[in-house]
Amino acid sequence: MRNIKLTIEYEGTGYLGWQRQKRGPTIQGTIETALEKITKHRITLIGSGRTDTGVHALAQVANFKATTRLTSAQFQLALNSILPKDIVVINAEDVDQDFHSQFDSRSKIYIYQILNSPQPSALGRLRCWHVIQPLKTQEMEDAAISLMGEHDFKAFALSKQGINSTIRTVLDVRLEPNEYDLLEFEIEATGFLKRMVRMIVGTLVQVGKEKITPLNFRTILESGERTKYVRAAPPWGLYLKEVKYG
C-alpha cells in the first residue's frame, strides 16, 4: 500500500466546493472518480481542507492510499488525461505512510483579488471581485495589520461551525495593489474558519470605502461582535495559494 500526495490546481466556478456531496459536482468527487477509473478500486482522497463553492486553488494538497504498480508520475499523467480541463494535478509524489494532508499541515496561505476599477473584466469576472468605488488602500492596509497574531475570529466566521474554538493565529498578512487595478490581499495562518477570509476581505472593503475606520475594524475583531459592516466577499475572488508542511 502506497501513500501518494497530489498538488492540485483548480478553477472552482463549476463545482460545489471541495468536499464530496450527494448532489452536484465537487473537486474531491471528480478526482476520486478519476482515480477509481485508473486503479479499479474505491479511493478516498484526503484534502488539506475544504474550499467553498466557487473558490479556486493554486496548490491544494491531497493524498490517497492505493496498491498499484503505477509510478506517481504515471498517476499524474493519467489523471490529467481524464480530469476536466478546470482541474489539473501539478505534482504527484510518494510520501511516508503516516503523511496526512490535513492533520500534518502547519499553515495555509490564501489570496483574494479585488478589481478596483470603473470597468468590469470580461475574462476575470469569475476570478476577482469587481468593486467600482475607489478604495483607500492605505486605510485597508492599516486595518489588516491588526489581524497579525493570535485572535478570536468569532466576528469573521459563520456562527454555526461545530468547532470548539474560533481562536486562530495569523502569521503574515499583505495587501498590495498592482498596475492592472487589481488589489491582492494575502493571509497566512495556522488555520482558518469557514468563510473567515471572505468576511475579513468584505469588512476591509468597508474600510476602503470609508464606511468604517481601521480602529473600527480592530474593535470588531477584538469584541467578536458581528456588526452590519461585517460582510462576506463573493467566493470567486478567493484562492488557496499554498499549504505548508513540516
Q: In this structure, what C-alpha cell is assigned to residue 56?
A: 479556486
- How far apart, in whole angstroms, are the C-alpha atoms of residue 112 and residue 171? 17
Among the options 52, 86, 104, 181, which is catalytic? 52
Q: What's the burial of 148, exposed, middle or buried (CB within 10 Å: 0-12/13-18/19+)? A: middle
Residue type, 224: G
Residue type, 41: H
Own/partner pairs, 158-162, CB within 8 angstroms, 24+ separation? 158/193, 158/194, 158/195, 159/226, 161/193, 161/194
Q: What's the burial of 14, exposed, middle or buried (CB within 10 Å: 0-12/13-18/19+)? A: middle
Residues 6+ apart with CB under 8 A from 208: 131, 135, 136, 137, 139, 140
**How distant, in Å, are the alpha carbons of 16, 23, 83 from that of 52?**
7, 15, 20
**How distant, in Å, are the alpha carbons of 17, 83, 238 from that of 13?**
9, 15, 11
> Would residue 94 show up in a list of annotated catalytic residues for this protein?
no
Q: In this structure, what C-alpha cell is assigned to residue 127?
A: 476570478
- How far apart, in whole angstroms, are the C-alpha atoms of residue 188 and residue 22? 32
Q: Which residues are catalytic?
A: 52
